[in-house]
Amino acid sequence: MKTLKGPSLHLAQFGADHAPFNSLDGIAGWAARTGFKALQVPAWDSRFIDVELAAASQDYCDEIQGTLAAHGLRISELTTHIFGQLVAVHPAYDAMCDNFAPPNLRGKPAERTAWALERLRMAAQASRRLGLSEMGTFSGSFVWPYLFPFPQRPEGLIETAFEELARRWLPILDACDEHGVNLCYEIHPSEDLHDGASFERFYELVDQHARCKMLFDPSHLVLQQLDYLAFLDIYHQHIRMFHVKDAEFRPSGRQGIYGGYSGWMERAGRFRSLGDGQVDFKAIFSKLAQYDYEGWAALEWECCLKDQEDGAREGVDFINRHIIHVTERVFDDFAGAAVDQAQIRAMLGIA
């Protein structure tokens, strides 16, 4: 068995336009003082990394690693969720997704997607230069608006969408393979890869690509009322990244999974800071130890109630308390006895 690494901190929710959260050196110093051992760096946030330069320059990547090492930190993974989101965008989301792209590409869906695909290739190359083996992302979505349709979905709609999704992602998976990086799709509502069944559909269409992996975040499975422990049993061989994020689901006579269009504060399903929700992390960390997960446990803070710095500080202690340092001994070894094959046959009554 292997002991997983952690805690790491996903920076996406912590970047800001004021110190210490507006530069890699500043946020690294704060994270180290808070107790984190690594940073999960969003490749789209230029305050922390220039992904184009990182893809081209080993010196620049060495400089990034030196900046973190000066604070006793390292990079656990790069994430590319914003780029991945732009790989597949339903027209209903065009205006909102335009905000993820450079201004000159807004209103140009084809050019926007081409830009995102190139950024994903750059991030894979940057990951290799940084000595990383895993990269997180979103799949994007063509058919999320048709999740629970009326009128009924026309025959072939889902099949066509997933065929196109696979066609767009296959070259990126190949690029990741070239650079020795696993591409870990976060299983997430609003993405076409939002549960195990949708992942399996995609996985078959990319020919069971060796680099097609998962980012496991139990909070998104709680909000879907999916059995996240059984999910680990089924898909543990695919899971290469782990977001430690809590959630709660409290349905009422007024709303359930769909939330009634309410804001996060009023929804039946809400993200919470670690320890404040319903996720059984003791069982999750136990299963990850059982299945030899050797990646990072990365805190992703999303909470509609608690201050993020409080959530980060409490999250460090929470993850440290849940990491299982796996044993190298079998607990009942003390009672063992050496028995040869002849004795074994005699024990079984085999002549």
Please spell the DSSP secondary structure of 117-170, one letter per residue: HHHHHHHHHHHHHTT--EEEE---BSSGGGSS-SSPPPTTHHHHHHHHHHHHHH
Tens-place pLDDT, residues 264-302 = 999 999 999 999 999 999 999 999 999 999 999 999 999
Locus of tokens 């094959």: 341
Q: Is the pLDDT of residue 39 over 80?
A: yes
- Token readout for 246 is 């809590």
Q: What is the pLDDT of residue 335?
A: 64
329 pLDDT more than 90: no
pLDDT of residue 336: 76
DSSP state of 89: B
- Across the chain, mean pLDDT equals 96
Q: Side-chain half-sphere of 277: how many Cα atoms within 13 Å?
A: 30
Q: Which domains does the chain have, with CATH numbers?
A: 5-348 (3.20.20.150)
Task: Give dist(CA 22, CA 41) in Å, integer.
Answer: 13
